[in-house]
Structure 1
């Protein structure tokens, strides 16, 4: 499952639902979509590193890669971000 989308009841055909299911989308129909409650997963089910962490780490390292040490800097930056997230989770517990 990649995504959950809430639609007003009766808007989707059986073919629409099957197509979305094949694409990894969960289609939910509700009489009043504005009253649907969503749940955002929290640790431990949340990922340690997000795609944004990887992207920002790599871009930051490559931006300052005058001597070819970008790979090392990218890993250090990713590690820094993950440690900060772990510390924040420990404080919340």
Structure 2
């Protein structure tokens, strides 16, 4: 089981196809992982209404979402090689 105490984060991914291929490679290697999806346009408790202030003009919509992949610290080096 991956918890906040024994996890390591891989570099963020902006492409869903790349995320899918990484997850497939991690599955084939037998490496446990979790994925967190982050919407950059969604306001948060610390960032009220960022979308309204910044707008979406010239905003690259393909980078609106990004994906954080976490693995166990003991599997981090093996997971890095799969990138």
Please indicate the TM-score interval, normalised by the length of the shorter structure. under 0.3
- Structure with greater proportional strand content: 2
| Structure whose CA Rg is larger | 1
Choose between structure 1 and 2 for higher RCO, CA contacts under 8 A separated by at least 6 residues: 2
TM score, norm. by length of structure 1: 0.24
- Structure with greater proportional helix content: 1
